[in-house]
């Protein structure tokens, strides 16, 4: 009985430490998501991983989460602002085998027992967000915008065809290597540009869920 009680006590301590560590994290302070949201949603968990990997680089990145740019479109999951560009992040929570081409209207996921389902091309959805951003930020060169689609780890890629060097499609488990590659990218924006973009977007009352800076 003593060992059982001790085990329960240790479990409670561990849980409390995990909750405390999360509540003190950059992501927790920047969003209203709880630790239970992170554990239960692979989409939110992917955004949490993204934030942690950015912080680990020790470089300056400004981030906006859940940005409502257009009333008739879903919020942008995350916007990363860096001197190398503006990265529009869309998280896709899918299962099965994913196939699609950059120009296709729809992509497909192959599920259990050869069941195939179509879903809107996520690249096109991000590009509509870029059009909205270009209206808000008329002084920013179009070359600064980068489309990033991140699939959660429950799926696998069957065949993804891309042609533009301004588009990346990856799995959540590849975020660390993708962020490492950002450090070698040519600068597209000045630090003043980055600050101005951040200020413009964060001041939109209906645009920003919450914001943070990684450094």
pLDDT tens for each residue of 175-207:
999 988 877 788 899 989 988 898 888 765 333
Q: What pLDDT score does 123 carry?
A: 96
Name residues whose C-beta falls within 8 Å of residue 131's C-beta, 6 or more positions apart in sequence. Answer: none
Looking at per-residue pLDDT, the higher value among 65 and 22 belongs to 65
Kindly report, residue by residue over 153-171, the tens digit of the pLDDT.
999 999 999 999 999 999 9
Q: Degrees (nearest 5) of the Cα angle 45, 76, 107?
A: 85
**For the segment 85-125, what is each residue's pLDDT rounded down to a tens digit?**
999 999 999 999 999 999 999 999 999 878 899 999 999 99
5: pLDDT strictly greater than 70: no
Q: What are phi and psi of 166, to 5 degrees?
A: -100, 10
Coil, helix or strand at residue 117: strand
Q: What pLDDT sits at residue 213?
A: 54
User: pLDDT grade, residue 21 (50/70/90)?
Assistant: confident
> Residue ranges per domain, the chain?
59-213
Q: Is 174 exposed, middle or buried (0-12, 13-18, 19+ CB in 10 A)?
A: middle
pLDDT for 60: 82
Query: In this structure, how many other beta carbons lie within 10 angstroms of the beta carbon of residue 84?
Result: 21
The pLDDT-based confidence of 208 (bands split at 50, 70, 90) is very low
Q: How confident is the model at residue 13 (pLDDT cuts 50, 70, 90)?
A: low
Return d(Cα 72, Cα 47) in angstroms, integer.
23
pLDDT value for 206 = 35
Query: What average pLDDT score do residues 127-152 get?
Result: 94
pLDDT in tens, 32-56: 888 889 989 999 999 999 988 888 8
pLDDT value, residue 27: 83
Highest mean pLDDT among 17-21, 28-32, 68-72, 173-177: 173-177
Question: Is 3's pLDDT higher than 80?
Answer: no
Nearest alpha carbon to residue 194 among 214, 165, 166: 214
pTM of the model: 0.86
Instruction: Look at residue 26 and give its three-state secondary structure.
Output: helix
């Amino acid at each position: 009985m003593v060992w059982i009680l001790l085990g329960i006590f240790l479990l409670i301590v561990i849980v409390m430490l995990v909750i405390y560590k999360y509540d003190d994290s950059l992501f927790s302070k920047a969003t209203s998501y709880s630790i239970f949201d992170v554990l239960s949603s692979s989409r939110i968990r992917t955004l949490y991983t993204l934030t942690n990997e950015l912080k680990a680089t020790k470089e300056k990145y400004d981030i906006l989460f859940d940005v409502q740019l257009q009333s008739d479109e879903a919020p942008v999951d995350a916007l990363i602002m860096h001197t190398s560009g503006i990265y529009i992040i869309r998280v896709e929570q899918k299962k099965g085998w994913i196939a699609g081409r950059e120009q296709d209207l729809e992509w497909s996921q192959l599920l259990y027992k050869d069941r195939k389902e179509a879903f809107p091309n996520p690249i096109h959805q991000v590009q509509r967000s870029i059009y909205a951003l270009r209206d808000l930020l008329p002084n920013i060169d179009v070359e600064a915008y980068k489309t990033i689609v991140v699939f959660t780890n429950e799926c696998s890629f069957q065949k993804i065809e891309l042609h533009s060097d301004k588009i990346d499609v990856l799995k959540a488990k590849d975020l660390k290597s993708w962020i490492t590659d950002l450090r070698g990218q040519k600068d597209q924006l000045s630090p003043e540009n980055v600050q101005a973009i951040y200020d413009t977007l964060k001041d939109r009352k209906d645009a920003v869920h919450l914001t943070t800076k990684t450094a």
